[in-house]
Chains A and B, each alone.
Chain A
Amino acid sequence: MNCHRVRDSLPTLLDRRTAAAVPAEVQAHVAGCADCQREWEELRVTLTHLDDLPVTAPSSRLRRNFHAMLAAEKRREAATAVAPVPAATRRGRSHWLLPLAGGALLALGFLLGQRAGLPARASDDRGTQQELAALRQQMGRQQDQLAKMTTLVTYSLLQQQQHPANERLQQLLADARQEQPSERTLDTVIGALTLDPNVNIRLRAIEALYPHAERELVRAGVRAALPREQHPLVQLELIEFVTLTQDRGAVPLLERMSANDRADPAVRDAALLALARF
């Protein structure tokens, strides 16, 4: 047991959560080696002084501001206390086509292409089939671009139909926990953000994308989600995301949101504030 190795494990020995894992020979060495003992003592003193740093109290402003914030949220909650719209109608067949624009529309086109390649499913009703056919035709000329949009669409509508929200959430979390997710994994998370009918899952998806915000794939996905998102809570998170990550590509989208009379006032304000921060 040499001094070098002993010193490496001194912090472990000083941490009551990990001390038990340190071999007894390390302790024996420390007891008999003046140099290591000094090292040990310095670390111990540092820790003691660190723990002894007096805790400063926040000013009364903090409590006041907190309660003002809570009250504002309660008012907002009361104002928007309409029964949550069931996902099926909120993103019903023809309804959910409406908010699609730009890249997201292309993405959808590709998605429909994918879907068409699968054997027809009993659950597909005729109306949907016709809609898909019409849309596909409309998209026909854009095949090249569509191919480039694969990033957005691995998360298919079929997945939504086949797996309950809970299962999708678990999958999303499992995907997001990977330290170095592959493009494919990120695709799935972005897909959840742009296409999942469940608000909680979309919020979770945004959160999961933060660690990977440097990747253009992720930024593009968030930009695509921004104009089509209808839920104020998710809109606010998306605005925050593009602001924190300083994604200048989102500026025109924010400008449009801040000027949109039909958007939630809180969302319009947030978009304005965000613009000011670029």
Chain B
Amino acid sequence: MLAVRGGELDALGELFERHHGPLFGFLVKLTGQHAAAEDLTQTVFQRMLKYRHTYRDDGSFTAWMYHLARRCAADHFRRTQSAPAATDPSDLQAFVDEAPHAAVRAAQRDDHALLHSALQQLDRADREVLLLSRFQELSFAEISGILECSAGAAKVRAHRALQQLRTVYFRLQKKPIA
């Protein structure tokens, strides 16, 4: 990113290759929407370009990226004013397509679909902190920078969000399938 800041814009291409996958994964789980996550991923890289002069080398690039991502997602949620949007069935389909064996597929589909929908039932703030703490190799110090709170608060919020998710997930599992 330092190279990008220095004017070598092509260096952003490398960053894109290395980071867009995980970033997209984060955004798809945060928004529950495939298309929106793609747009947001694009917007994050757009903002990196725009904000490149403000990048400082004293923090991790990943933390900065998720900081921008969170901003973009907040904008998205403000625009769509969403109570968690109804999950697009094709999104769920996408989750199961990669299951390796047909035999385990049904069970996995249930688990994945249920967890996916449990995730979408959390408060956005809970979902955000949980995803950041789980999917990314970030320290709580970095997460606290992204969320603009103290490291202690980030840790407590992440752990509380996990308990929330567990509650919703197990409740959904016990619900008989209609």
Instruction: Give the B-binding residues of A (Cβ under 8 A).
Output: 11-12, 14-15, 17-18, 42-43, 46-47, 49-59, 61-63, 65-67, 69-70, 73-74, 77, 179, 199-200, 203-204, 207, 210-211, 233, 236-237, 244
Contacts and interface: CB of A to CB of B under 8 A. Distances in A.
B94 interface: yes
Contact of A244 (B29, B75, B98): B75
30 contacts: A11-B158, A11-B163, A15-B159, A42-B170, A46-B166, A46-B169, A47-B134, A49-B111, A49-B169, A51-B134, A53-B95, A54-B97, A56-B25, A56-B91, A58-B21, A62-B20, A62-B24, A62-B38, A62-B42, A65-B42, A66-B42, A70-B9, A70-B12, A73-B9, A77-B7, A179-B148, A203-B53, A233-B50, A233-B53, A244-B78
B42 A203 contact: no
Nearest to A277: B79
B116 interface: yes
Contact of B71 (A15, A65, A74, A210): A210
Interface string B47-91: 001110110000000000000000100010010000000000001
Nearest to A210: B71
A200 B49 contact: no
Interface residues of B, number: 57
A65 B20 CA distance: 13
B42 A200 contact: no
A211 B163 CA distance: 27
A47 B162 contact: yes
A242 B34 CA distance: 28
A257 B172 CA distance: 52
Contacts of A49: 111-112, 115, 169
Contacts of B98: 54, 56
Given A15-B159, A62-B24, A69-B49, A53 B112 contact: yes
B149 interface: yes
B131 to A, nearest CB: 9
Given A58-B20, A66-B20, A42 B166 contact: yes
Tell me what chain A mostly uses at the interface: helix, strand, loop, or mixed: helix
Nearest to A169: B56
A77 B25 contact: no
Contacts of B97: 54
B115 A74 contact: no
A42 to B, nearest CB: 5
A77 B9 contact: yes
Contacts of A51: 134
A200 B56 CA distance: 11
A246 to B, nearest CB: 8
Contacts of A244: 75, 78
B24 to A, nearest CB: 5
List of 10 A-B pairs having minimum Cβ-Cβ separation, nearest first: A11-B159, A46-B166, A54-B98, A56-B94, A55-B25, A58-B24, A11-B162, A203-B54, A49-B115, A200-B53
Contacts of B165: 46, 50
Contacts of A77: 7, 9
